Structure 1
Amino acid sequence: MISKEYIIMDSQGIHARPAASLIKLTKNYKSTFDLKKDDKTIRLNSMLNILSMGIKGGETIAVLIDGEDEVVAAEAIDTFFTELGKMIKN
């Protein structure tokens, strides 16, 4: 399992458009993706799941990737957050 932390730099946080793009990205991999904020963890497979987290700008999230293609999937997640102007923390 790979865990990546990100600080959300966009003042709007993660809203519908980036959430939809994130879900679309995860469907390209066999690995499972979870998103964690504070003590709450959800599966990254539903827009409702992501939006229910209420992720705002300045908050730190973690993406947990587990599966046979987790290394390549983690690189794609890094690229996704970098391109959206988010900052990789760890």
Structure 2
Amino acid sequence: MPERTATIASRVGLHARPASIFAEAVSDLELDVTISAADAGPGEALDAGSILSLMSLGASHGDVVLLRAEGPGADEALDQLAKILETDHDPAA
């Protein structure tokens, strides 16, 4: 199963705005995508298309997460999803 790590770039972590942007991108895919803390076991993976799951992950700025997907085009999709997480989506203060 293809996987990627990504470092959360949003200054306040994976909260409502970046979680919403990420979940929308996942929902546009015809793949099952999961997310977990990089050091978590496979049984701790959450549905990456769920805003509530993303926010319950509690990922803060600088945390590393692991994305997994299965299906045609999974490698390319994971590259795009990692870029979303590695972009600061918080407006400048």
TM-score normalised by L of structure 1 = 0.80
TM-aligned CA deviation for residue 85 of structure 1:
3.8
Structure 2 stretches lacking a partner, 5+ long: none
The CA deviation string for residues 29-88 of structure 1, in whole angstroms up to 9 with x for no partner, is 111110011323101121111111111112111111111121231232133234x149xx
Structure 1 unmatched ranges of 5 or more = none
Deviation above 6 Å: which 4+ runs of structure 1?
Answer: none
How many residues end up aligned between the 2 structures?
Answer: 85
1:55 matched residue in structure 2: 59
Identical aligned residues as a percent: 19
TM-score when normalising by structure 2: 0.78
More strand by share: 1
1:10 and 1:85 in contact (8 A); partners too = yes
* Cα RMSD for the two superposed structures: 1.9
Matching residue of 1:6: 6
Q: Secondary structure at 2:46's aligned position in 1?
A: strand
